[in-house]
A and B are shown apart, each in its own frame.
Chain A
Amino acid sequence: MLKVENLHVSVDDKEILRGVDLSVGQGEFHVVMGPNGSGKSTLALTLAGHPRYKVTKGTLLFDGESILNLGPDERARKGILLAFQVPPEVEGVKIIEFLQQVLVELKGIDPAEAYDAIVKKAGELWFKEDDLHRYVNVGFSGGERKRLELLQALLIEPKLLILDEPDSGVDVDSLSIISRKIEELNRAGTAVLLITHYGRILEHLDPGTFRVHVMKDGRIVMERGGEFVNEIEERGFQAIFEECGCDE
């Protein structure tokens, strides 16, 4: 479904991704790990079509077609959704009105139906109806923002859900609900590309069901099975990189 080949990406003429290869099939679950600054968010934002991240080389296919020339809205309509690492505040725009509009446009349902769906799913992620009348992310804590990102994923039900650190800054209980909801979406057919620093969010998953990609200096340098997460957590990236000769 998603095929990334030799992807090079620059921001303000500075090259950040230097030849990324990655494939995600329908309904699959992939994890991306890597040190701070290795380019994980850059990859996520590039897939979602951020205008400042310029692809200078390589291919980016979704369902067999190049999406390089598509804007972020067109990619969303094709079924790609990014849950941001740092979701921005949008002053004056109420969550409920925003989500209603999104569902009306993306799924073609009517506003009243959208409203009910939003309130119901919001409850599952511990949002009260009052919260939905607040402005998008304004004054929300880090953990609340992550739950709001997931709420959007639950409502939109994308084909490919890219999650950029949905678990950072999140308390234990929120983490457990977030990880369960991700699995739920995945079981229902959404392919997941999950960026994380910790194995905890993957605790309930059978390591045999997902792949782990390790990023370093703008490249994916290793791909392993799910059990590799534990090894990374135990030994750290440096030791692993030294051993595999990934340090060049």
Chain B
Amino acid sequence: MSETITLADAKAVIENQIEELARRNREPEWMTKIRYRALEAFERAPHNDPVISEEQLLHFIAKPEVEGIPEHIESLEDLPAELKALLDRLGIEEVEQKYVAGLAVQTDTGVIYNQFLQEWAKKGLTVLPTEEAVRRYPDLVKEHFLRLFRVDESKLTAYHTAVWNGGIFLHVKEGLKVPFPLHLFFLIQESALAQAPHIIIIAEPNTEFHLIEGCTAPILVRHSLHLDMTEAYFGENAKGQLTVLQNWPEYVHTRPMTRAKIGKNARFINTTVGLGTGKSNTANPKYWVDENGYVELNGILLGQKDWYVDLGGEMYLQGKGAAGINASKAVIMDESTVITRGIITAEAPKTKGHISCDALLLSDKSRMETYPGLVSRVDDAELSHEAAIGKIREEELFYLMSRGLSEEKATQLIVKGFLEPMLKDIPMEFLVEIRKIIELAVSGGM
């Protein structure tokens, strides 16, 4: 990071990208206008990242470190062998034949491998690249794009909005219950663009879905910053689940931004499994919950090496009887730091909120901090929190070892067992993968 990059330099780079995206996406003017407005906001918006300095940010924008895989990917056959092997391991083809799951692989230019989803499109399930949704469903997108964020909240929201590309548009029509989990893989290959997918989820009343974003797939270009944004809207009585599996390479800083509006009697279970959270990962998802609505944020966090993980979570219980749970389980090793800071604000009567944080420290230099925040603006809300930070109990380890398991194997079992209760809603194919990653991490940390 030798040369100094000015705000003007970064703006020029962003402007170029906006033009390129507008051209590439054959973007309607209204969207390009949003991008330009974001570019203006970028200049004045505050920068308040705990890890990335403003200077670094400008550098990431203007001089992204890029190591891409050049060839073009248009079908599954063109996928790199390692990704194909991963899909095979996950049994995707088999699953597809049995018509029990939907899979989309998101590339820069489109969603591939989605014959199965086309069947369901007729029933009212739309899964499209966000770029394509902008062209095909402009009114719906206008109504839901950047409604839960303000463009000038921070330099990161402004930057994301200016250069967003990729991401998925998921629309579930009223009454449709999708009986299989939808798998979405991000596969980003085009080098010069920022990694900033924008995800929009619209679940109309009385719908059900489960979307799994798997970032276990290798990302094909080397970027220092990944900025995805998710906006989810739940109609009355809609029930949705969003499971995000993160397995980022070590050099990337990830800043997922998720927000959701949860309607009357709606339910949203948002699980984030951070196995490889990258060099640093900070997230502060926000949820607004209407009458008798329910939201659950489950964070599974694995801190390794010198990683810095900071998971917040703000829940606003706005309707009578609304409820929210923010639960996290962290396994922390080496010199990693994990921070959790959930806040639940009760704004309506008879609301309930609970924050829990459980951490297992595997080394003397690992660090856990937790700051639960409970705010009540009414007198009959039930808000509570609990936290437990500890090490592996000697008695448990000895017990398992006295049955012939090595210290490494016994520790792996205990760590997997510690996380187990949180993994209950994750499909088996992923569990196998997740367990393997945990085992490797534990062995590496010993």
Q: Footprint of B on A, CB under 8 Å? A: 48-52, 71-73, 75-77, 81-82, 84, 87-93, 98, 101-102, 105-106, 135, 152, 156
Asked if B393 is at the interface of the complex by the 8 Å CB criterion, the answer is yes
Check B402–A76 contact: CB distance below 8 A.
yes
Interface 9-residue window, one of B153-161, B249-257, B307-315, B411-419: B411-419
Check A93–B414 contact: CB distance below 8 A.
yes
Check B399–A87 contact: CB distance below 8 A.
yes
Residues of B within 8 A of A87 (CB): 399
With A51-B394, A98-B413, A135-B417 known as contacts, the answer to whether A90 contacts B399 (CB < 8 A) is: yes
Check B403–A156 contact: CB distance below 8 A.
yes
With A52-B394, A87-B399 known as contacts, the answer to whether A106 contacts B404 (CB < 8 A) is: yes
Asked if B386 is at the interface of the complex by the 8 Å CB criterion, the answer is no
What 8 pairs across the A-B complex have the smallest Cβ distances?
A: A92-B417, A92-B420, A76-B404, A93-B417, A72-B401, A106-B404, A88-B395, A73-B401
CB contact list, B390-438 vs A, under 8 A: 393-396, 398-407, 409-410, 413-414, 416-421
- Least Cβ distance of B73 to chain A in Å? 37
Check A90–B417 contact: CB distance below 8 A.
yes
Check A101–B409 contact: CB distance below 8 A.
yes
Interface SS majority for chain A? mixed
Check A101–B405 contact: CB distance below 8 A.
yes
The interface size bin for chain B is 20 to 34
CA distance A92 to B417 in the complex (A): 4
Across the interface, A98 reaches (CB within 8 A) one of B394, B400, B401, B418, namely: B400
Check A91–B418 contact: CB distance below 8 A.
yes
CB-CB nearest in chain A for B403 = A102
CB-CB nearest in chain B for A138 = B417
Check B419–A102 contact: CB distance below 8 A.
no
Check B404–A73 contact: CB distance below 8 A.
yes
Check B420–A71 contact: CB distance below 8 A.
no
- Least Cβ distance of B389 to chain A in Å? 15
The contact sample of 12 A-B pairs, CB cut-off 8 A, is A75-B402, A76-B401, A76-B402, A76-B403, A76-B404, A77-B404, A88-B395, A93-B413, A98-B403, A102-B405, A105-B405, A156-B404
Check B401–A92 contact: CB distance below 8 A.
no
Q: Footprint of A on B, CB under 8 Å? A: 393-396, 398-407, 409-410, 413-414, 416-421
Interface SS majority for chain B? helix
Check B394–A84 contact: CB distance below 8 A.
no
CB-CB nearest in chain A for B419 = A92
With A90-B414, A92-B417 known as contacts, the answer to whether A81 contacts B396 (CB < 8 A) is: no
CA distance A241 to B271 in the complex (A): 64
CA distance A77 to B405 in the complex (A): 9
Across the interface, A93 reaches (CB within 8 A) one of B395, B406, B416, namely: B416
CA distance A81 to B404 in the complex (A): 9
With A101-B413, A105-B409 known as contacts, the answer to whether A88 contacts B393 (CB < 8 A) is: yes
Residues of B within 8 A of A101 (CB): 405, 409, 413
Check A152–B396 contact: CB distance below 8 A.
no
Residues of A within 8 A of B405 (CB): 73, 101-102, 105
- Least Cβ distance of A102 to chain B in Å? 5
- Least Cβ distance of B318 to chain A in Å? 35
Residues of B within 8 A of A156 (CB): 403-404
- Least Cβ distance of A111 to chain B in Å? 14
Residues of A within 8 A of B420 (CB): 91-93
Across the interface, B398 reaches (CB within 8 A) one of A50, A91, A102, A152, namely: A50
CA distance A135 to B396 in the complex (A): 13
List 6 other contacts, CB 8 Å, given A93-B420, A102-B403, A105-B405: A73-B402, A76-B402, A89-B396, A101-B413, A105-B404, A106-B404
CA distance A92 to B358 in the complex (A): 14
Residues of A within 8 A of B409 (CB): 101, 105
CA distance A98 to B416 in the complex (A): 12
Residues of A within 8 A of B413 (CB): 90, 93, 98, 101
With A50-B398, A88-B393 known as contacts, the answer to whether A102 contacts B417 (CB < 8 A) is: no
CA distance A88 to B395 in the complex (A): 7
- Least Cβ distance of B299 to chain A in Å? 17
**Which of A81, A82, A92, A135 has the most chain B CB atoms closer than 10 A to its own CB?**
A92
CA distance A81 to B399 in the complex (A): 11
Residues of B within 8 A of A92 (CB): 414, 416-421
CA distance A102 to B420 in the complex (A): 19
CA distance A18 to B404 in the complex (A): 28
**Which of A49, A50, A106 has the most chain B CB atoms closer than 10 A to its own CB?**
A50
Residues of A within 8 A of B416 (CB): 92-93
Residues of B within 8 A of A93 (CB): 400, 413-414, 416-417, 420
Residues of A within 8 A of B395 (CB): 88
Residues of B within 8 A of A135 (CB): 417
Residues of A within 8 A of B399 (CB): 84, 87-88, 90
CA distance A71 to B421 in the complex (A): 30
- Least Cβ distance of A72 to chain B in Å? 4
**Which of B394, B413, B414 has the most chain A CB atoms closer than 10 A to its own CB?**
B413
CA distance A50 to B416 in the complex (A): 23
CA distance A152 to B402 in the complex (A): 11
CA distance A106 to B395 in the complex (A): 21
Residues of A within 8 A of B394 (CB): 51-52
CB-CB nearest in chain B for A84 = B399
CA distance A102 to B407 in the complex (A): 13
Check A82–B393 contact: CB distance below 8 A.
no
CA distance A211 to B34 in the complex (A): 88
Residues of A within 8 A of B396 (CB): 88-90
CA distance A105 to B413 in the complex (A): 14
